[in-house]
Amino acid sequence: GNMVLGNLGNKEVVAMQGRFHYYEGYSLKEVTFPVRVMKKLGADIIIISNAAGGMNRLFKRGDLMLIADHLNLFGDNPLIGPNDEELGPRFPDMSEAYSQKLIELAKKVALKEKIRLQEGVYAGLTGPTLETPAEYRFLISIGADAVGMSTVPEVIVANHMGMKVLGISCITDLAIDGVIVKTSIEEILKAASDAEPIMTKLIKKVIEKID
């Protein structure tokens, strides 16, 4: 993906067009390298979005979910190996991986703009296979509300470097109580397409309100 620099809401921003995925064969260090570049460019806050499968009974296709916390089920970690103390500590604190202040700000913006917003725990898996019904039941049992194939490695690296994180998932398909709701690829793409302007509006307003 390309890295784009510009201004939004009187703030200097840097954005990624697309991202690298672990399932494409990249190492987690390669997947998370853009985050390190963003930090070196001066970014102290990062907003990460993704498409995810929803498992919470309250969720509907097309919902936006604020990520309150995550489960790293990649079986890997981008910080494994020698640690560069100039980038961050050997054992970074993940007790608030997603900034509560940014979550509250996003909630206030959503309320004012009448944006339907959910909140939950995101489970990160490697992919590229989609989950089996048994895997969905397992994920639900350990507290996950949504599942996807990205985000977690980037959030780990962002925390390693002391960045504040806001995570937002777009729920594009559903598996309730381990039962996969049959969804065509066209329906998934439509859910993502319909949610895109809403997510863009939310992110833009959040950036404007950040002090």
Contact status, residue 70 vs residue 168, Cβ threshold 8 Å = no
The predicted-structure confidence for 41-100, as pLDDT tens digits, reads as follows 999 999 999 999 999 999 999 999 999 999 999 999 999 999 999 999 999 999 999 999
Which tens digit of pLDDT belongs to each residue from 132-190? 999 999 999 999 999 999 999 999 999 999 999 999 999 999 999 888 888 888 888 89
User: What is this structure's pTM?
Assistant: 0.96
User: What is the per-residue pLDDT for 123?
Assistant: 99
- The whole-number pLDDT of residue 76 equals 98
Taking residues 15-26, report their average pLDDT: 95
Residue 53 sits at φ, ψ, to 5 deg, of: -90, 135
Give me the mean pLDDT over the 25-52 stretch: 98
CB 123, CB 147: distance < 8 Å: yes
Q: Look at residue 1 and tell me whether its pLDDT is greater than 80.
A: no
Structure tokens at 143: 């507290």
Q: Going along 62-163, which residue ranges are E strands?
A: 64-72, 117-124, 146-148
Question: Cα(first)–Cα(last) distance of the chain, in Å?
Answer: 29
CATH number given to 45-209: 3.40.50.1580
